[in-house]
Structure 1
Amino acid sequence: MSQFPGAAYPVQVPAMLLAAGRGERMRPLTDSTPKPLLQVQGQPLLQWHLQALQAAGVRRVVINTAWLGEQISERFSSHFGPQRLSHMPEALSISYSHEGVDFGGALETAGGIARALPQLGPVFWLAAGDVFAPDFVFGSAAVQAFARSSHLAHLWLVPNPAHNLRGDFGLSPDGMALNLPEGDPSPRFTYSTIALLRAELFAPPWCDIPAGNPAGVKAALAPLLRRAMDAGRVSASLYTGRWTDVGTPERLAELNG
């Protein structure tokens, strides 16, 4: 596959963690602390993803920041985890896309990904830094299966939580994500915010933001995904492990109870 010179398919790929949001619903907790650094079961929320990525053999992570972003880069610096010993995985290399510094605020999900693309690659993991999913495995088998496909995205969907009972996307019996029309009675599931993506999704005809988003265009990810779904280019899996969108103080308190 020409996108991965030197090997038929990648064993692992870089990851992007979304950490630029203001966390309005978490106020006043987020007035002085960015939401990804709030403590969940004894450690920063973002650290759960970093641990899982390191354990899965991912070597490079890009974190985008905006609100109080300097706290995130100060907390995690340029590496996460110990240097490799005989019984331990290698440390993660961390780089940052500081949207707040560059543009005065967050660029939304698609805008932020487009901005960070030069630091990623043709295929990469995506996860939101405010989601708690301690059982999720960023497995190399999923990467290889996705790389062999022609899909632009593979989404992990979850059963609908109480705060999103209508769900987001359908799931076909053959594992394709569905952009169901309004009124369609088919079951919908909630997008977990964990995905494998191709950089191709952030180029025409799916996205018209120039490479690297030099102008700082703000754009949401859902419209791009829906266009690609309509073209049959988005696959999905149902994930049933522990998962919480840590979006309110009440949900945070429940996790820490």
Structure 2
Amino acid sequence: MTNYHPKKAVILAAGFGSRLRPLTDLRPKPLVEVNGTPILHNALRNLEAIGVEEVTIVVGYRKDAIQYACGSRFGKLEINYIESAVFDKTGSAYSLWLAREALLQGDCYLLEGDVFFEVNALRYLAINDVANTSAVAPFDVSMEGSAVVLTGEGYIAEVRMKQTAANLTDGSPPLFKTMNLMRLGSTDLRSRIVPFLDEMIGTGAVKAYTEELFANLIERRGLRMAAARCDDLRWYEIDSADDLRIAERIFAAPVQRFSDGAEARSA
């Protein structure tokens, strides 16, 4: 078993956040607050806590607000920005393609800028010998979006898009929600992931999502992606006002941080 943390991370934070309006009329979704903490600040603090040194953020909608809120340094993190000038016409895979030079620099974490999560989700990504790992949690009736089916060995066998509670049927394999937190290895980034990104964008698939990218890589291109199960952790993907209310309930009890970086939940 390994416990290796990459020193770099990429965060995708360019989108409109239209389903969170009016909260996103004047600010980007990654700066929407959960109990007083912006979603993006929570991610950056967690990355800093596990020893990440450099973060590349892809910005678009209200980019100046994100740059002002995070600066060129956030704690010990060095922050770089890549601007998407066509964020209103493209999907998250295009944002990732814009960050391809950062991806080619070596092992990295990949996060989407709308997930509020405990730091241990990042730690779970590092506790295995597999270069590529995706954080997942059991899919429940309150969730919707992309989900995965796992093999008996804990690898992702299949990615299913646009899942809802209706897909939780008896006799079907258990579904796990993708948390949009990943650890990606340098070898596959250079040999599979970035080349396939180039191929996708080159053929005009600029509106594709990262879930579609990895579904193709896993199911058709032989990419091995382990699943880090985060069943016991608090997290939530925030797309709507209802999601925000759920996240605020989940994180209503403050998290105590100890000197070694571990966490405990207050009663």
3-state SS of 1:113 partner: helix
**Is 1:132 paired with 2:120?**
no
Counterpart position of 2:237: 245
Give the direction of change, closer, same or farther, for the CA distance of 1:143–1:70 in structure 2 (3 Å limit): farther
Counterpart position of 2:44: 50
**Is 1:116 paired with 2:110?**
no
Counterpart position of 1:4: none
Q: How do residues 92-107 of structure 1 correspond to structure 2 at under 5 angstroms? A: 92-100=77-85, 103=86, 105=88, 107=90
Give how far 1:249 is off.
Answer: 1.5
Q: How do residues 188-207 of structure 1 correspond to structure 2 at under 5 angstroms? A: 188-198=175-185, 199-200=189-190, 201-204=192-195
Counterpart position of 1:34: 28
Please give the per-residue CA displacement for 1:126-173, whole angstroms capped at 9, x wherever unaligned.
Answer: 1111111124343398187334xxxxx321111214343686111122
Return the alpha-carbon distance in structure 2 between the equivalents of residues 52 and 129 of structure 1.
13
Question: Given residue 159 of structure 1, which amino acid in structure 2 is its aligned partner?
Answer: P
Q: Verify the 8 A CA contact 1:207 1:224 in the aligned structure 2.
A: no
- Structure 2: gaps (5+ residues): 162-166, 250-267
Q: Verify the 8 A CA contact 2:31 2:40 in the aligned structure 1.
A: yes
Question: Given residue 130 of structure 2, which amino acid in structure 1 is its aligned partner?
Answer: F
Return the alpha-carbon distance in structure 2 between the equivalents of residues 255 and 140 of structure 1.
21
3-state SS of 2:120 partner: coil
TM-score scaled by length of structure 1: 0.77
TM-score scaled by length of structure 2: 0.75
> What is the percentage of aligned positions where both structures have the same residue?
26
3-state SS of 1:179 partner: strand
Return the alpha-carbon distance in structure 1 between the equivalents of residues 110 and 97 of structure 2.
12
Equivalent in 110, 128, 153 of residue 174 of structure 1: 153
Give how far 1:11 is off.
Answer: 4.9
Return the alpha-carbon distance in structure 1 between the equivalents of residues 248 and 124 of structure 2.
31
Equivalent in 147, 156, 159 of residue 135 of structure 2: 156
Equivalent in 168, 171, 174 of residue 187 of structure 1: 174
Return the alpha-carbon distance in structure 2 between the equivalents of residues 70 and 14 of structure 1.
22
Q: How do residues 42-81 of structure 1 correspond to structure 2 at under 5 angstroms? A: 42-81=36-75
Return the alpha-carbon distance in structure 2 between the equivalents of residues 234 and 159 of structure 1.
17
Alignment RMSD (CA, Å): 3.0
Give how far 1:256 is off.
Answer: 3.7
- Structure 1: gaps (5+ residues): 1-8, 82-90, 148-152
Give the direction of change, closer, same or farther, for the CA distance of 1:216–1:58 in structure 2 (3 Å limit): farther
Q: How do residues 86-97 of structure 1 correspond to structure 2 at under 5 angstroms? A: 91-97=76-82
Write 1 or 2 for the structure with the bigger share of strand. 2
Return the alpha-carbon distance in structure 1 between the equivalents of residues 216 and 207 of structure 2.
18
